[in-house]
Amino acid sequence: RLQELGIKLPAVPSPVANYVPYRIPGGLLFLSGQGPRDENGKLLTGQVGGPVTVDEGYRRARLVGLQLLAATRQALGSLDKVEAVVKLLGMVNGVHGFGDQPKVINGCSDLFVEVLGDAGRHARSAVGMGSLPSDISVEIEAIMLIKS
């Protein structure tokens, strides 16, 4: 499906602290939270609703979705092994009073449905944060069900 859509997945970034990119206990894939990176791997920073628009936040959430799919492929060997995306937790670094977190995290949610079809539909939380590590705009983590 990625080829059909003309989507190329980025390299999976190395962890920046004492954690692993994913864990697979009992048929579930838990993906560590990731922040948006440009094509050179540089983190994209700034608060949404301030210097970063909602549309740009959406684009950045889509970039994180691509990174999560890349980590999924690394963990499972193929995206074809995903039975379903179970849950996303999307965190948005927004200015005080910002309330459009769901519109931003839709960037990742829309991508998952685009790439995985019905298997990409998921439960989700989209929440605002006063700050995120390294001032990234968005951080998203995911849980996926692996085909048995």
Q: Is 123 left (phi over 0), alpha (psi -120 to 50) or beta?
A: beta
What integer pLDDT is reported at residue 28 of this predicted model?
Answer: 98
Q: What pTM, to 2 d.p., does this model score? A: 0.96
**Mean pLDDT of all residues belonging to the chain:** 96
Per-residue pLDDT band at 34 (split at 50, 70, 90) = very high
Residue 76: what are its φ and ψ, rounded to 5°?
-105, -15
Evaluate if residue 14 carries a pLDDT over 90: no
Query: Where residue 15 falls among pLDDT bands split at 50, 70, 90?
Result: confident
Put the strands of the sheet holding 28-34 in their side by side order: 22-23, 28-34, 138-146, 82-93, 123-129
CA distance 21 to 31: 6
